[in-house]
Amino acid sequence: MPLIVMCGIPLSGKTYQTNRLKEYFEEKHNLKPIIISSDTKLKEIKRNVLFGDSKMERELRGWLKSEVERHLVADNLVVLDANNYIKGFRYELYCSSKERKTTHCVIEVVVTDEDIAWKRNIDSAEDPSLDSYDRQTFDALVQRYEKPQTTSRWDSPLFVIDGSSHDMPFDDINAALYQRQAPKPNLSTQSPALSSTNCLYELDSKTQQVVRDVHKCIQSGQLKNIVIPDSRQTLNLNKSLSAAELNKMRRLFISYTKLHPISDDQMIGTLFVQFINKSV
């Protein structure tokens, strides 16, 4: 389920090269790439209207990202055909692929002269069925374009190709996606692991019981060698803890457990007691 992020100024040739990539993977690797294109939304809203409204543009990026994430499953190869001119947005896409433990690459489609892209836009304006940019919108998008950098991990591996060229490093792109190891996801890019309803119930009820047992011992004056019925480990406190403090530790433990699921429900009490011991 690798991801290819196309980027470039308007009319640089991104869609043309996207279609060539699609043909390559279909014919040589028997894959059916999923193409997600900003043109899908631009058929509904005039591009000069959309790119002239920051709110609508944010909504477009949100839609593109959600479509990418929706299709980054199983063995899908996803190609995002859009301007993708904001480096922060490319970083978000990188995090999405990293979270799913898959590879990605960026392909920048360039033109030797911006006037070439503008000429293509003028030519498209002659066809009433096509939506073209006005000069103000075109210039604004070119000016706002943030070129990808090989030094940025979210822009790497980076392939720079001429939008009108027939030379594309297809095999190198394939190797970048399928012949290297995906980066390991950080905790910050990982979604909390989902547990079954029964596991969540056990986690909630058993940690509550531990809190009650510990609080009862503290109230009786016992701080050392506290034996918890549901734990294989004793609890030793260096100070008295209130019920509020114990419940705060309980919430932290539950949050931690959602990221590091417990495979054996019988260990919940023991692990929670260990958590309290380390916390105090």
pLDDT of res. 198: 66
The residues near 173 (Cβ < 8 Å, ≥ 6 apart) are 4, 21, 105, 107, 159
Range of the domain at 257: 198-279
Residues 47 and 129 in one domain: yes
Shared domain for 115 and 168, answered yes or no, is yes
Chain segment 203-219, per-residue pLDDT in tens: 888 999 999 999 999 99
Same domain, 26 and 147: yes
Residues of the chain with pLDDT under 50: 188-189, 191-195
- Positive/negative CA dihedral, 30, 172, 117, 36: positive
- Confidence at residue 100, expressed as pLDDT on a 0 to 100 scale: 86
Whether 10 and 144 share a structural domain: yes
Residues 181 and 220 in one domain: no
Predicted local confidence at residue 193, as pLDDT: 46
pLDDT of the residue at 84: 96
Q: Which pLDDT score is estimated for 194?
A: 40
Sign, CA dihedral 42-3-86-23, equals negative
Which domain-ending residue is among 189, 209, 225? 189
Q: pLDDT digits over 216-243, tens only?
A: 999 999 999 899 888 888 999 988 999 9
Number of domains in the chain: 2
Judge if 132 and 258 occupy the same domain.
no
Give the length of the chain.
280
Give the span between the Cα atoms of 156 and 150, in whole angstroms. 5
Which neighbouring-strand residues pair with 5? 80, 106
What pLDDT was estimated at residue 127?
A: 81
pLDDT at 177: 95
Choosing from 147, 167, 189, the residue where a domain stops is 189
Whether residues 202 and 160 fall in one domain: no
Look at residue 191 in the predicted model and tell me its pLDDT: 45
